[in-house]
A = this chain, B = another copy of it.
Amino acid sequence: MSSHRFAVNVTPKPGILDPQGRAVEGSLGHLGIDGVSAVRVGRRVELTVDAADPSTARAVVERLAGELLSNPLIEAYAIEELGGVPA
């Protein structure tokens, strides 16, 4: 049994309207920032999984990402392994 730390990055799928991204783009002018485009705002969920081995831990994260953390109709997710957690 060991602990594994993962991140799940959830982003709006291409073509899906992203009002938060538009809001960020709309604020750039006020800050005097130029040259920024294609802003997409999503979520990042970090979590620790206790499992017998890394592949079991990853399977848990896959299930969680698809069933709870993202809406598969409009969002895509990517799983990132952040490495082991010291006991």
Interface residues in chain A, defined as those with a beta carbon under 8 Å from any beta carbon in chain B:
5, 7, 9-11, 21, 24, 27-28, 31, 33, 35-51, 60, 63-64, 67-69
Q: List 14 A-B contacts (CB under 8 A).
A: A5-B38, A7-B9, A9-B9, A24-B69, A28-B68, A31-B67, A36-B47, A36-B49, A36-B64, A39-B47, A40-B46, A41-B43, A43-B43, A43-B44
A49 to B45, CA, bound (A): 25
Question: Of B40, B48, B50, B67, which contacts A47 at CB under 8 A?
Answer: B40
Given contacts A36-B60, A43-B44, 8 further A-B contacts (CB under 8 A): A21-B45, A27-B68, A31-B67, A36-B64, A41-B43, A41-B44, A42-B43, A42-B44
